[in-house]
Amino acid sequence: SQQGEEDPQALSIQEGENATMNCSYKTSINNLQWYRQNSGRGLVHLILIRSNEREKHSGRLRVTLDTSKKSSSLLITASRAADTASYFCAPGGSNYKLTFGKGTLLTVNP
C-alpha cells in the first residue's frame, strides 16, 4: 500500500517561525496530497503534487517531492496560530484508496 508516515509526530513552534514536516512512503506513487485537519473537523486539502513534479507552492505552503527517496516535505512559512492542526500526507497509487499515517500535530504558540 502507499501509506504515508509523517514525521515528527508533534511539532511546537512560535508564531512567525517556519514549520517543516516530512512524509515517507514505501511504494511508487502517481501523486501525493497534503491535508490539514483541525480538531474534530474534516480534512482540508492543501496541495497535490504529481510524481513528475519536484516542488510546488501555494501561498505560505511549499511542498517538495523526492521520488528517489520516497519522501515529501511540507513547509509552512511565517506560521500563525490558526495553522495549529494535524497535517497528513496521502501518497496516491493505482487506485482511489488513500492510506493515512498518524499525522503531524502542529502547535503554533502566539
Partner 1 sequence: KAGVTQTPRYLIKTRGQQVTLSCSPISGHRSVSWYQQTPGQGLQFLFEYFSETQRNKGNFPGRFSGRQFSNSRSEMNVSTLELGDSALYLCASSLEFGNTIYFGEGSWLTVV
Return d(Cα 39, Cα 67) in angstroms, integer.
31
Nearest to partner 1 of 68, 96 (CB atom): 96
Q: Of these, 26, 41, 57, 80, which contacts partner 1 (CB under 8 A)?
A: 41
Site membership for partner 1, residue 31 (CB under 8 A): yes
Site membership for partner 1, residue 4 (CB under 8 A): no
DSSP string, 48-104: EEETT-SEEEETTEEEEEETTTTEEEEEE-S--GGG-EEEEEEEE-SSS-------E
CB of 34 to partner 1, least distance (A): 11
Q: Which residues within the stretch 42-101 sit at the binding site for partner 1 (CB under 8 A)?
A: 42-45, 48, 50, 88, 90, 92, 95-101
Return d(Cα 97, Cα 108) in angstroms, integer.
31
Instruction: At 81, give phi and psi (nearest 5°).
Output: -55, -35
| Grid coordinates given for 92 | 496516491
Site membership for partner 1, residue 102 (CB under 8 A): yes
CB of 102 to partner 1, least distance (A): 6
CB of 27 to partner 1, least distance (A): 16
Closest CA to 99 of 38, 46, 29, 50: 29
Residues making contact with partner 1 (CB under 8 A)? 30-31, 33, 35, 40-45, 48, 50, 88, 90, 92, 95-103
